[in-house]
Structure 1
Amino acid sequence: MTEPGHWAQAPDYGPAAWPDAGEPGPPEPEAAPVEAAAAAVDPAGPGRPSQSAPGPVAAPRAQDPAPDAAQDPAQDPAPDPEATAAAPATPPAPAPPAPVPPAPSAVVAAPARLGWAADSELSAERLVRRTPRRIFRTVRHRVPDGLTDAIRTPLGRSRRIAVISLKGGVSKTTTTMALGAVLARERSDRVIAIDANPDSGTLGRRVQRQSGATIRDLVAAMPDLHTYMDIRAFTSLAPSGLEVLANDSDPAVSRTFDEQDYRQVVELLSGQYPIVLTDSGTGLLHSTMRGVLELSDQLVVLATPSVDGANSAGITFDWLDAHGFHEEARRAVTVVSGVRSSSSRMIRVDDVVSHFRRRCRAVVTVPYDGHLAVGGEVDPDRMRGRTRAAYYELAAVVAQEFDR
C-alpha cells in the first residue's frame, strides 16, 4: 500500500494507463525472454521440452504480443499443414505501443493528489464530477438578468425613497443600507442614504466612517454648500458606492432634528443625487415624519413574521390612510424581514404576505441572514445567496416606479 504523501509512487494517469488502451509492458529483448520463461515454467531447466504441455511458452501477460522471430525451432513442434490451411488468414498483430517513459514524480503526483486527469481531453462528465460545489452554489444564486435590467430603469428626475416603521428592531436601517447598496452597485447614478431619526439614529454605524460630520453639521454649513464636492465632505462612502449621511449619536445634543431641517437637506441633496434614501425614525407623530412622507416618492414599510411585527406594520398602514396618505400607502412596498426574535411568537410568512398584498403594491420577503444580524457594515457579497436575491428583487420593485 502506498504511503500517504509518497509522490514518487503515485499512479500514472496518462492516456496509456486508461482501461481501454491496454497496459504496455516493458520492452522485450530479442531471444532471452523465451529461455527465461521456459526455465520459470519447467524446473528441468532451459533447453529441455516442458513436461506439462508442448508448444511455445506463453508470454508473461495475455495482452502482450507473442514474439515471432525470436522463437527457437528446436523447442517448437512442426506446424500442421492441414490446420494451417483450415485456419483463416488473420492480420498480423499490431506492434505494441512504445513504452511511456516514467514522468517526474512532481508531474505525476500533482494530478493524483488533486483528483484531476493529466490529459487534456478530459470528458465533460468527469469535469462536472470534479467541479467544486461552491461554484454551483454561486451559479444557483445568480441574480436574474431581468431584475438587473429593472433596477437600471432610467430616471427623469431625482427620486426620494423613505423606509419607515412604527416599531424598532425590524431591520429598518439594515433594509435602507442593503437597498441602497444594490441600487448604487447596479446603477451609474449617485445614491445617498440619510439618517432622519429625530433623536439618535444608527445609520452611521453601518458604514466605515470617512467623515465625522453629521446631518446637523450639514444643516449648519448649508449656505456655503453649492457643489457635489462640497457635500461629499460630510458623507462616508460604502464599498458598494452608497454614500451615507450620518446623524448625531451624541447624548449631549440638545436640539432635535426637525421637519424644516429635513426639508432643507433633501432639497439640497436632490440637486446632486438622483436617488435619496431616508432611514426615518419610529415616531409617526414627530414633525420630521410629516416632512418625510410629503417629500417621498415611494415608501418601504417594514414588517416581521411575528405577531407584534405584523401588527405594527398594519398600524402604520392604518395611520397613513387616516392622515391623508392613502395613495402613498397603496403604492408602497412591504418588506417582511426574517429577524429572529425569541420574545415574539412567530407566525407563518405566507399569512403575513397574503395580508399585506391587499394593502400595498408589492410584498418582498427577506430571509434571516447572519451577516446582517451582526449589525455591522452591510456588504452584499457577504450575504447568503437567497438574501442577496431578495434585496435585488426589492430594488427591482422599487425601480418600477422610476418611469412614472
Structure 2
Amino acid sequence: MSSEDADPDRGPAREAGELSDVEELTADTIVRRRVDRPQGGWRGAVFTASRGLLNPGVGPEEHAYRDQVRRIRRPLGSAHQIAITSINGGVGKTTVAACVGLVLAEHRGDRVVALDASQNAGTLADRLTGDTSRTVRDMLGEIDSLGSLADVSRFTSLAGRLQVIASEQDPAMSEGLTRAEYERVCEVLRRFYNVVITDSGSGLVHSAVGGTLALAHSLVIVGSPTADGASRVNKTLDWLLARGPAQRVSDAVLVLTCDRATKHIDTVRVRRHFEARCRAVVEVPFDPHLATGAQIEIDRVRAATQDAFRSIAAHLADRFDATPVGVGAEMVTVDRAL
C-alpha cells in the first residue's frame, strides 16, 4: 500500500517539519472531556443543582482563570530567578512579592522560595509567616555546610507551599546583604529550588540590588499610578536602560498598585505609556485585607486582586525555559556593570 493510501490516523510518521505539534500532546489537549463543567458562579450552581442536566457552559471569567493557571504551570527545566524591585519604598513591593510567591507555589508542583533581601529589616516573612527567628544572615553563617534541601529548610518558614527566608532583623546589621553575599545565597538556592523570588531593597544603587538585577531572569518593577509614582517608574526604567541591555526593560513586568489611585489621574493614559515601554502592565486594585499590613491570608484577598496576582504570575511563567537541564544546572553570567 502506498503512502498516499495510508490511513492518516495510523500511517507513517509525518514529515520532520511537522513534528513540532508533538509538544501540544498533553493531557489537557488530547483527553476528550465528556462535559466542560463550570466550577463556580451561577453557571456552576446551575450545573450542580440540575445534576449535570443543565450545562450553561464555562463563562469567560472561568476561561480566563483556566488560561492563567495553564500558563503558571508551564514546565521549567532550570532554576528561574525573579527580582521584584522599586526605586522607592511604600508602593507595595513586599506585598507583590508575597502574593506572587503564594500564587506560584499554589499552582505549581515544584519548589518555590521567596527571599527577603531588603537592607533594613524587611517585612516579607512578617507578611507571610510571622516567623523571623532564622534569617538569611543565619543561613550565611552556615552556608558552607548546606548540602541538601533539608539543610536549607532549617532557615525557612512556610506559608502554604511557599518557603520564605527572612531578612536580617537586627538594626545593628542595617547594611544588609552585600552583593557577594547575595550571590552566594542564590548559588545555594538555585541548587534546590525551581523558582527563586527576591524581594529586593528599595532603591537601585545598593550593592545587593545590583546583584539582584544581574542574576534575575525576570524583572518586576512596582510603582503607583500617581504623578510622582509614574515619574519614579520612568526614572527606574531610564536607569536600567542606561546600565544594561534594552531587552531588560522591554521584557519587564510593571505592576501598578492602586492603593493611592484617584479619579484626578488618567490611569488609562499612564497604563498606555508604560505598555509601550514594558512587556506587560498589571494593575493591582486596592484590597482592604492587604491594606492592613498584617499577615496575608490569601483566601481573604478579594477575587479581583487575586486575579491581578495570577496575571502577574502568568506573565512571569511565560518566560520560563522548559529545557530540561536540571534545577540549578545552568551557568549564570553576572553583569558587573549593574
TM-score normalised by length of structure 1: 0.63
Return the alpha-carbon distance in structure 2 between the equivalents of residues 145 and 224 of structure 1: 42
User: Residue 397 in 1 paired to residue 318 in 2?
Assistant: no
Aligned residue number for residue 295 of structure 2: 377
Return the alpha-carbon distance in structure 2 between the equivalents of residues 254 and 363 of structure 1: 33
Aligned residue number for residue 327 of structure 2: none
Return the alpha-carbon distance in structure 2 between the equivalents of residues 399 and 346 of structure 1: 34
Alignment deviations for residues 184-228 of structure 1 (CA, whole Å, 9 cap, x no partner): 000001111101112321112112245611001111110111100
SS in 1 for 2:259: coil
Aligned residue number for residue 196 of structure 1: 117
Cα contact 2:157–2:163 (8 A) shared by 1: yes
Aligned residue number for residue 100 of structure 1: none
Structure 1 residues 330 and 248, CA, compared in 2 at 3 Å: closer, same or farther? Answer: same
User: Residue 233 in 1 paired to residue 154 in 2?
Assistant: yes
Query: Following TM superposition, by how much is the alpha carbon of 1:236 offset from its aligned partner in structure 2, in angstroms?
Result: 0.7
Aligned residue number for residue 169 of structure 1: 90
Which of 165, 170, 178 in structure 2 is aligned with 1:258? 178
SS in 2 for 1:263: helix
Aligned residue number for residue 303 of structure 1: 223
Structure 2: segments with no counterpart, 5+ residues: 1-41, 50-58, 323-338
Structure 1 residues 346 and 162, CA, compared in 2 at 3 Å: closer, same or farther? Answer: farther
* RMSD of equivalent CA atoms: 2.2
Which one-letter code corresponds to 2:176 in the other structure? T
Question: Pairwise mapping of residues 317-396 of structure 1 onto structure 2 (< 5 A)?
Answer: 317-340=237-260, 347-396=265-314
User: Residue 268 in 1 paired to residue 188 in 2?
Assistant: yes
Structure 1: segments with no counterpart, 5+ residues: 1-123, 132-138
User: Residue 214 in 1 paired to residue 135 in 2?
Assistant: yes
Return the alpha-carbon distance in structure 1 between the equivalents of residues 207 and 168 of structure 2: 18
Query: Following TM superposition, by how much is the alpha carbon of 1:286 offset from its aligned partner in structure 2, in angstroms?
Result: 1.1
Return the alpha-carbon distance in structure 1 between the equivalents of residues 239 and 174 of structure 2: 29
Query: Following TM superposition, by how much is the alpha carbon of 1:257 offset from its aligned partner in structure 2, in angstroms?
Result: 1.4
SS in 1 for 2:167: coil
Alignment deviations for residues 129-151 of structure 1 (CA, whole Å, 9 cap, x no partner): xx9xxxxxxx9965621111000
Larger Rg: 1
Return the alpha-carbon distance in structure 1 between the equivalents of residues 304 and 194 of structure 2: 28
Going by fraction, where is helix more abundant, 1 or 2?
Answer: 2
Return the alpha-carbon distance in structure 1 between the equivalents of residues 187 and 177 of structure 2: 16
Query: Following TM superposition, by how much is the alpha carbon of 1:255 offset from its aligned partner in structure 2, in angstroms?
Result: 5.1
Which one-letter code corresponds to 2:284 in the other structure? V
Cα contact 2:75–2:320 (8 A) shared by 1: yes
Cα contact 1:151–1:399 (8 A) shared by 2: yes
Return the alpha-carbon distance in structure 1 between the equivalents of residues 142 and 258 of structure 2: 40
Q: Give the number of equivalent residue pairs.
A: 267
Cα contact 2:85–2:199 (8 A) shared by 1: yes
Structure 1 residues 223 and 146, CA, compared in 2 at 3 Å: closer, same or farther? Answer: same
SS in 2 for 1:314: helix
Aligned residue number for residue 245 of structure 1: 165
Return the alpha-carbon distance in structure 2 between the equivalents of residues 140 and 361 of structure 1: 24
Aligned residue number for residue 25 of structure 2: none
Question: Pairwise mapping of residues 27-38 of structure 1 onto structure 2 (< 5 A)?
Answer: none
Which one-letter code corresponds to 1:256 in the other structure? G
Moved more, 287-296 or 199-208: 199-208
Return the alpha-carbon distance in structure 2 between the equivalents of residues 306 and 210 of structure 1: 34
Return the alpha-carbon distance in structure 2 between the equivalents of residues 254 and 371 of structure 1: 29
State percent identity of aligned pairs.
40
Structure 1 residues 352 and 255, CA, compared in 2 at 3 Å: closer, same or farther? Answer: closer
Cα contact 1:198–1:257 (8 A) shared by 2: yes
Return the alpha-carbon distance in structure 1 between the equivalents of residues 304 and 174 of structure 2: 43
TM-score normalised by length of structure 2: 0.74
Aligned residue number for residue 19 of structure 1: none
Return the alpha-carbon distance in structure 2 between the equivalents of residues 289 and 255 of structure 1: 12
Which of 61, 68, 71 in structure 2 is aligned with 1:150? 71
Aligned residue number for residue 201 of structure 2: 281
Alignment deviations for residues 51-90 of structure 1 (CA, whole Å, 9 cap, x no partner): xxxxxxxxxxxxxxxxxxxxxxxxxxxxxxxxxxxxxxxx
Cα contact 1:161–1:300 (8 A) shared by 2: yes
SS in 2 for 1:339: helix
Query: Following TM superposition, by how much is the alpha carbon of 1:308 offset from its aligned partner in structure 2, in angstroms?
Result: 1.1
Structure 1 residues 331 and 148, CA, compared in 2 at 3 Å: closer, same or farther? Answer: same
